[in-house]
Amino acid sequence: MPLAEPTLLGLLTTWTFAPVGDALILLGVLAYAYGVRRVHTGGGAWPVTRSAAGAGAVVGLVVALNSAMAVYGHALFWVHMIQHLILIMVVPVLLVWAQPIRLAHDAGAARAVDAALRNPAVRFVTHPVVALALYTAVLVLTHLTAFQARMPTTPWMHEFELVAYLISGYLFFLPLAGDERAPWDVPYMLRLAVLAVGMGADTLVGIALMLTGHPIADFSTMRGPWGLNALADQHTAGGIMWALGDGLMMLLMIVVGVRWGLARPERQTMGPWLEGARTRALLDDPEADTDADTDRSGQGVDDDEDALARYNARLAALHGLDRPRDPDPRPPA
């Protein structure tokens, strides 16, 4: 049965239920609350900001899966796009800030958590390059292919899409958005670079939807004659993807940049590999060892007096300052 045109009151009072999803959300909330209680019982502290981020993630999930957005996301492409951005960006970032992995570690499951983080499969799927590729693939394949045309009328494809958004977004933002315990400790400069590439994927999908001259998916089959026509609906969805998606990514990059500026000095380096490459370039020593040029605290060449002395000596040699000067450069009479 086609959906009727909504009223403001109807939008506010329309709610739906997803038994499996709602049960998983409830279990997650209970597990998180239990973990916080365990940490407090053990004499530890759990910042309120992390719990607030977790609460925000739950609110985002409920809005995306149970509110009028979940109902009219089947009938309007632009509404579906907002739902998609909440699930692939907003909720995953809030989950990373909530730090459930660290909570499980601190609540008594340290051995199991550390073993899981060392698992080769976990390290592979959470590698920033792999996660970026997955994030990009999910964006492109669910919006610019025949998948989007079949999704509104195929329940299992819709459910798969929502799960894919949530998982790919979480894996992408896990090593980039905060300080959660993760298999990869990505330097802040590289975090910004990977986020910028991810923003490019958002831009690509948004512009492609805006410029395509034919409807990729016709959501109007799920509603009556009200609302935008299929092509205008698609162009609006593309504009939301481009503007809102890039805007959210830019805000996150600003947050990461601020965290970089406030981080301890040993956390402000470019990482062992890049610091080693930089050291080799500065000292003109291709055989220089990365570990030897970056100490255990993460400090690089800028904090190594011996390396700085070698760099200054190299500069002096390049400018001829290490050669004795002729006291009287004038030629003899």
Per the CB < 8 A criterion, the answer to whether 198 and 206 are in contact is: no
The single residue listed with the structure tokens 């062992």 is 272
Would you state the pLDDT for residue 4?
72
The whole-angstrom separation of Cα 199 and Cα 216 is 22
Give 309-318 pLDDT, tens digit per residue: 666 666 666 6
Mean of the pLDDT values across residues 259-263?
89
Q: In this structure, what are the phi and psi dihedrals at residue 223, rounded to the nearest 5 degrees? A: -145, 180
Would you state the pLDDT for residue 331?
60
Would you state the pLDDT for residue 75?
85
The residues that bridge with 3 in the sheet, in sequence order, are 223
Nearest Cα neighbor of 209 from 84, 67, 30, 44 is: 84
Mean of the pLDDT values across residues 211-233?
84
User: pLDDT band at 297, cuts 50/70/90?
Assistant: very low
303 or 220, greater pLDDT? 220
Per the CB < 8 A criterion, the answer to whether 92 and 172 are in contact is: yes
Would you state the pLDDT for residue 311?
60
3-state secondary structure of 148: helix
Mean of the pLDDT values across residues 232-248?
95
pLDDT at 298 over 50: no
Helices and strands per DSSP (H, E), number in the chain: 18, 0
Would you state the pLDDT for residue 278?
52
Mean of the pLDDT values across residues 53-57?
97
Sign of the C-alpha dihedral, residues 65, 70, 74, 77? negative
Burial class (CB in 10 A: 0-12, 13-18, 19+), 117: middle
Q: Express as a percent the part of the chain with pLDDT over 70.
A: 77
The whole-angstrom separation of Cα 249 and Cα 16 is 29
Task: Read off the pTM.
Answer: 0.81
90 or 219, greater pLDDT? 90
Would you state the pLDDT for residue 22?
92
User: How crowded is residue 265: how many other Cβ atoms within 10 Å of its Cβ?
Assistant: 11
Range of lowest pLDDT (7-11, 104-108, 215-219, 230-234): 7-11
The single residue listed with the structure tokens 């459910």 is 159
Would you state the pLDDT for residue 176?
96
- H or E element in which residue 11 lies: helix 8-13
The whole-angstrom separation of Cα 57 and Cα 99 is 11
Would you state the pLDDT for residue 300?
53
Q: Could you tell me which residues come within 8 angstroms of residue 171 by beta carbon, excluding any fewer than 6 positions away?
A: 125, 126, 131, 134, 135
Would you state the pLDDT for residue 155?
85
Give 62-75 pLDDT, tens digit per residue: 999 999 898 888 88
Would you state the pLDDT for residue 288?
52
Say what angle helices 91-98 and 48-66 make with each other, to 10 degrees. 150
Q: Could you tell me which residues come within 8 angstroms of residue 70 by beta carbon, excluding any fewer than 6 positions away?
A: 16, 18, 64, 83
Q: Looking at residue 219, what DSSP letter applies? A: G
278 or 96, greater pLDDT? 96
Give 73-112 pLDDT, tens digit per residue: 888 899 999 999 999 999 999 999 999 999 999 999 999 9
Give 103-159 pLDDT, tens digit per residue: 999 999 999 999 999 999 999 999 999 999 999 999 999 999 989 888 888 888 989
The whole-angstrom separation of Cα 236 and Cα 210 is 7
